[in-house]
Structure 1
Amino acid sequence: MTTPTQPDPPDQPVDMESLPPEVLQQVRRMVQAEYAKDLRTQLGQVPRTINWRTLSPEDLEQELLDLNAFVDWLRHEYGLPAQIIPPMWHRHPELLWELSALRQQWLTCYDQQAKGNMGVVWHAEFAAARERLRDWVSTSGTRLDRDRATRITEWPGGEAEDFTPPDTSERPVTNRSKDFVAFVTHAVQARQGEQDAAVREIVEGEPKDQSS
């Protein structure tokens, strides 16, 4: 006659204090790392203010792509005309800074940890931003089908020796997506050049080894 098998006894909880100190310390580090990883996943990345002047070439490229995706969503979602967001907004720093600030505000207000009234707060900020965008577009001169660089008023005796006023001749807008890609490529290359120049200045400025 076959003896029926007995069910396995339930797992007994491990007495953490009975573990060797080095093992206990390692387990605690693993638990803390998993907790921090899970917390980051739940909270997401905290939106930050973007300073376009100090981004690395890699970050500059990624932030431009992310901002472009947000602006494209925004204009479709709210049916915004070119008087508020024109196709060549990326060619105008004043529009880029304004739209970037608006995106960061949106990320903050719609973060999953945000309070329930933050959607209303964002729409209030959005209304004010639309008025500013109208002003920027009006003074910049960019339109749906044509674009020119924003004019800069030169101050007599107030400009740097190497200052060159932008070319403000109008150009037709024929392929916005292609122009944006070219803009990003040029911007990243220029920032890489600035970074390389800064590194060379630091290296060349270091005192030489007196023993050589």
Structure 2
Amino acid sequence: MAKTLGAVPRPINWRTLPPGDVEHELLELNAWVDWLRHTYGLPAQVVPPMWHRHPELLWELSALRQHWLFCFDPQAKGNQALAWHHDFAIARERLRDWVTISGTRLDRDRATRITEWPGGEAEDWEAPDTTERTVTNRTEDFLAFVEEQVLARRAEQNATIREITNLEWREQP
């Protein structure tokens, strides 16, 4: 944790991070969440093992981490630690709500159910598979998740590069 203190905390937009940053930020967040749950004795009803598989939990925990980095920065004002603990109490309630909505538990997990809007979904949208799965090896799953995210970002990045390149070729005289 000491090496993260002193860095300029910034909001993380998980939708736009390039592949290398996604990997780095996920690994850092995972280490921080592990520290958080051990330090504060958080039950799975607040931080379940498969939090990384649920965007609502990933965004909430990420925001909480960035807030912690800001409040515990060596340059922070003396009352920031108290402010963080106040906000942490509120965030724990939100985390409980997210866990309830998502359906993830200590020993089993399923994708968060998304209510399909009649005539309101993109043509290529597919509802997530909400089959429950037993949680057997959380670390192995997390590392597979990181790899999936990096590969997906690389594919997005490559598609964007191809699109730009094709546009440039079409604009050639």
Q: Structure 1-normalised TM-score?
A: 0.78
Q: Per-residue deviation at 1:45?
A: 2.3
Q: How many residues align?
A: 169
Which letter does structure 2 place at the counterpart of 1:178?
A: E
Give 1:9's aligned residue.
none
CA distance in 1, matches of 2:33, 2:90: 16
Which letter does structure 2 place at the counterpart of 1:45?
A: A
Give 2:103's aligned residue.
141
Q: Per-residue deviation at 1:208?
A: 4.3
Q: Equivalent residue of 1:111, what SS?
A: coil
Work out which of the residue numbers 112, 116, 128 in structure 2 matches 1:154. Answer: 116
CA distance in 1, matches of 2:137, 2:6: 35
CA distance in 2, matches of 1:163, 1:209: 35
Q: Which runs of 5+ in 1 are unaligned?
A: 1-42
Q: Which runs of 5+ in 2 are unaligned?
A: none
Aligned CA RMSD, in angstroms, stands at 1.3
CA distance in 2, matches of 1:66, 1:180: 12
Larger Rg: 1
Q: Structure 2-normalised TM-score?
A: 0.95
Q: Equivalent residue of 1:184, what SS?
A: helix
CA distance in 1, matches of 2:108, 2:162: 40
Give 1:174's aligned residue.
136
Give 2:43's aligned residue.
81
Deviations 1:47-77, CA, capped at 9 Å, x for gaps: 0000000000000000000000000000000
Where relative contact order (Cα < 8 A, 6+ residues apart) is larger, the structure is 2
Q: Equivalent residue of 1:51, what SS?
A: coil
Q: Per-residue deviation at 1:139?
A: 0.8
CA distance in 2, matches of 1:44, 1:109: 11
Which letter does structure 2 place at the counterpart of 1:176?
A: R
Q: Per-residue deviation at 1:209?
A: 3.2
CA distance in 1, matches of 2:21, 2:160: 17
Give 1:191's aligned residue.
153
Deviations 1:97-156, CA, capped at 9 Å, x for gaps: 000000000000000000000000000010000000000000100000000000000000
Q: Per-residue deviation at 1:199?
A: 0.6
CA distance in 1, matches of 2:144, 2:67: 28
Q: Equivalent residue of 2:106, what SS?
A: coil
Aligned ranges for residues 1-212 of structure 1 at < 5 Å? 44-206=6-168, 207-210=170-173
Deviations 1:141-199, CA, capped at 9 Å, x for gaps: 00000000000000000000000000001000000000000000011000100000001
Q: Per-residue deviation at 1:46?
A: 1.0
